[in-house]
Structure 1
Amino acid sequence: MDTQLQQLLTAILQFFTAPLFHIGDTAVSLSLTLGVLIALFVIVFLVSIFKNFLRSQLLVKLGMDEGNRAAIATIVSYSAGTVGFIIVLQSIGLNLASLALVAGGLGVGIGFGLQDLTKNFVSGLTLLLERKIKVGDFVEFEGLSGHVKEISIRSTLVRTLDGSDVIVPNSFLVENRLVNWSYDNYAGRIRIPVRVEFDTDPLLVTEILARVAHSEPDVVHAYPPEVLFRGFGDSSLQFELWVWIKRIDLEAQIKSSLYFRINRELCLNRIKVPFVQTEMWLKNPEELMAYGSKVEDVLKMRGLEAQSLETHNLEAQGFESQPGSPLYLRDMLRQIAYFQNFSDLELRQLIEVGYRRSIKAGEILFREDEPGDDFYIILSGSLDVKLLKLDKQLATLKKGDFVGELALMLDIPRTATVEALEDTTLFAVNRNGLTRLLQSYPNLAESIAREICKRQEELALTQKQLRKLGLADAPEDGKNLLLWVRQRLIGLFGL
């Protein structure tokens, strides 16, 4: 019995160790083949763990972004896997020179069958090394848009905005045109078409659209919005609002928010969005004459119903019917001495760089030591300028006065606290908008300089703060204040 078992084991051993073919001087048996396959499986498993460790732990601690982590982890792990596989082949005695000879002989025949795989492999290396597309990027191609989830050697995985995963061959991404919205950053410009009735004031539409753009938190306020009058349509005046948004991959959500805001403002200002009207011609109008009075009564009734329905819709959206027309930003700006002689086109440019802001009595506009991000012109109401640290009032500002210009123009924290003494309406402009405004209207810079010089004490505090920051020399204090302010405006805004 023992002899038979020994013969069986010997036969099995011979079956696994019997040479199947030779690669150079190396005899390839079934046991050798199984060993190589097991070693390959172990290497792939270890490489996968090593890749995840690099991407999720080690490179994260080094402060690398997601795209760089994915590229480095993929290249390093594949390189380590290749080296490991070569070491395994050499350890089992396989002559790599003879293997290369066999691969060269089969390469021509196999190349034709695997040319697509080879092309995708090379394209994958190109994507990983050039890094024009990285994991986390928001891309768009052939009507498909989404975030790059993974870049492997053969293909790239793209997660669409609908949540589906699309596998794209790497060669397609290399050879075809592709838009990478997040190559530098996620900011991008979107366009919002708006149509209004023919009798609508274009300047009023410009004000409304610019105000809506400034009120949307996802809009990049560093770039002033643009309102374009696109022309005359079949039944409407056609406008387009151009704004830069912080996240282009959230375009649909931001557009929706802007449309809601625009619709609300148009309703509030009784501006209607027109629709294509169809005229109907009656072949026998005389037959309706007998019913003329009835038709007239019906039309009157429908007119009253339509008016009642419109009022109900406005009240449902939170609008109250008020006597008289609302006071528009255009009219308020024209009450300021600096803008009285502005034409409609100049007012349109002015409205685009700023927006209207209202604050209640007792509300703080800004506090001491806060960053100076905005410049304000008082359109109505009054403000109290004071130093809370010293419990001292500096000035009371009224319609036509400027406030907040020192911190914004000189790039320093706020030097005073400003509080509304009554309900106040302001025209607000940020740094880029102010630069554009001053470069377009140099005379406004002179007016601002003169207004600044009226507030002697606040200006002295500003000079002191500038000296602490190393932005002003002590000899500058002895200069004429108007000349000093004027020179700083010219230097900072390139006037």
Structure 2
Amino acid sequence: MAMDSSALLSQPFLFFETPIFTLGTQSVNVIWLAKSTLCLGLMLLVVRWIRHILNTRLLVGLVVNEGDRKLIANLAGFTLLAVGIVAIMQVMGIKFETLALIFGGLGVAVGFGLQDITKNIASGITLMSERKLKVGDLIYFAGGEGRIRDIFLRSTVITSFRGSELIIPNVQLTNNIVEKWGYQAKRGRVEIPLVVEQHSNLVLVTELLLKAASQEPNVLSDPAPKALLQGFGDIGLNFELWVWTDHVDQRSLIRSALNFRIEYLFRLHAIKIPYHPTNNRNLYPAMEAAANPINGSPEAASMPSIHNALIELPYFQYFDELEIRELIEKGSPRYFNPGDILVKQDEYFPFFCVMLKGEVDAIFENEKVSQRLFSLEHRDFFGELPLLLKIPYPTSMRAVGEVVLFTIPEDCFADLLSRYPQIKAAVSEEMLKRQEYIRLCQSSLKKMGLLPEEFDNNPVTWLKSRLMKLWGN
């Protein structure tokens, strides 16, 4: 409809009612556009409010997992948004046939001009519906690592370990490999690959790797660290240290701390890390330093290897290198300061303990007395009776000076007794010397109801009969 300027000036409101274009049978003017925009804006606010209410109130008692709550709220919001747009358009006079034509045209336009956005929206719907990735999951992907904070139609927000937020297009998460640790995952494995020279002492390498792991506070003792020989490379032997931690989100820091410890221990014990001959040595100062031990270091002289300490013991002196390496891998050294309590009285400690350094007192305490029953020194061992009888410790074990123990897990101790007669003989001989300790074990069994009233009061005779029942000889 054509109108001259004088008519518009005389009737200014006609401008807002003048048709601009038509959608099907519906004429579109400024007032229609304003009403539609207002309705769409109000609908977006309502959808956002409903999502918030669903996530923070209505679903809290029904769905425990925060990720599932956000997923349901996002899907509900997306559905309401789609239904609301269609409903508003129909209320504003656009018929369904016209809407189908409009959306068909938009589909063609999107297919040519907005392919990336369309792919990301489709990927967002896939993520929300499949639920393979959820809010709170710890993930590692090609572009970085972090925890999923929210999943939207076009992108996913990830909180990195640096504290920043990564806005990742959804297509990157659906079309690429993503390593997932699960909702609020904290425990995980950290791998430390390294190479040592071809002629290195593999037992000592294993020992030092496990020692480095045992000294790192963030490394778990259960599951125990593992030192693996992965293969034979061109310039050396390929090892890998596996450790487990309850702070997997800090694995970069843990890996760095372990690398420092390994490099130091290798230098201390003259374990050399090879470098590739085509590389510039100045680019690898740590490798160059690791090739040179700390000459004359008093610490090196005061730190004999666990390997050497074990083969000096009479019950391990016939072990070959492979057997010693297996023992070192299954056991673990523990370090104590003067006055530390190694094991508390009435506590079950599932380890056989070998004294590598220092002195330990066995202390019996009750309401009336605190008595030292015996002392143990370098090359002695303890823990065999509680393990064999399946009872708590009848005494506390207290460090007199600095103490180094080599602890062997219960199942490994049982395996040693069955495989090596010299260890069984040494254990039997030592146990029979501690009569007062045996009496306390008898008392513990009696309190637990595992000892008949008519048991033999002679501790040596009683223990021999118990060992015959346990070992059959």
TM-score (ref. length: structure 2): 0.72
Deviations 1:332-352 (A, max 9, x none): 223444423221101101111
Aligned to 1:384: 361
* Residue of structure 1 equivalent to 2:111: 112
- Name the counterpart of 2:122: 122
1:400 aligns with 2:380: yes
3-state SS, counterpart of residue 298 of structure 2: coil
Pair 1:442–1:72, CA change in 2 (3 A) = farther
Matched, 1:358 2:338: no
Matched to 2:192, the amino acid is R
Per the alignment, do residues 87 and 202 of structure 1 end up closer, same or farther by CA in structure 2, a change over 3 Å counting? same
- How far did residue 474 of structure 1 move? 8.4
Aligned position for 2:3: none
| Counterpart Cα distance in 1 of 2:317 and 2:75 | 66
Contact 2:189/2:242 (8 A) holds in 1: no
SS at match of 2:329: helix
Change (3 A) 1:273 1:101: closer
- Structure 2, unpaired ranges of 5+: 1-6, 279-291, 457-461
In structure 2, the partner of 1:190 is: 191
- Amino acid aligned to 1:210: L
Alpha-carbon distance in structure 2 between the residues aligned to 1:418 and 1:24: 91
Report the TM-score, using the length of structure 1 for normalisation. 0.69
The 1:477/1:435 distance shift into structure 2, 3 A limit, reads: farther
Counting only pairs closer than 5 Å after superposition, residues 246-395 of structure 1 correspond to structure 2 as: 246-273=246-273, 319-320=297-298, 326-368=303-345, 372=349, 375-390=352-367, 391-393=369-371, 395=373
String of CA shifts for 1:387-445, please: whole Å, max 9, x gaps.
434435484353432238848996x976642212444321124xxx5435645763479
1:43 aligns with 2:43: yes
Matched, 1:141 2:141: yes
Aligned counterpart, 2:399: 420
SS in 1 for 2:262: helix
Indicate conservation of the 8 Å contact 1:267/1:314, yes or no: no
Alpha-carbon separation, structure 2, partners of 1:235 and 1:264: 21
Please say if 1:435 is aligned against 2:411.
Answer: yes
Residue by residue over 1:103-149, the C-alpha shift from the partner in whole angstroms, topping out at 9 and shown as x without a partner, is 46536634633554443323212212322222343333336444434
SS in 1 for 2:363: strand
- Are the equivalent residues in 2 in contact too, given 1:192–1:255 (CA < 8 A)? no
**1:152 alignment counterpart:** 152
Contact 1:354 1:427 in 2 (8 A): yes
Cα contact 2:198–2:235 (8 A) shared by 1: yes
Do 2:8 and 2:14's aligned partners in 1 also have CA atoms closer than 8 Å?
no
CA distance in 2, matches of 1:482, 1:53: 72
Q: CA RMSD in A?
A: 4.7
Gaps of 5+ in 1: 1-6, 279-309, 468-472, 490-495
- Tell me how far 1:192 sits from its aligned partner: 3.0
The match for 2:227 is 227
Report the CA distance between 1:457 and its aligned residue: 4.6
Give distance in 2, aligned partners of 1:52 and 1:477. Answer: 72
Say if 2:190 and 2:255, in contact at 8 Å, map to a contact too: no
Code of the aligned partner of 1:226: K
Q: Is the partner of 1:339 in helix, strand or coil? A: coil
Paired residues of 1:372 and 1:413 also in contact (CA < 8 A): yes
Output the amino acid matched with 2:403: T
> What is the number of equivalent residue pairs in this alignment?
436
Does structure 1 conserve the Cα–Cα contact (< 8 Å) formed by 2:43 and 2:84? yes
Q: Tell me, in whole angstroms, the C-alpha distance in 2 between the residues paired with 1:478 and 1:50.
A: 74
Residue identity matched to 1:348: R
Task: Measure how far apart 1:212 and its partner are.
Answer: 0.9
Q: Is the 8 A contact 1:145 1:160 kept in 2?
A: yes
More helix by share: 1
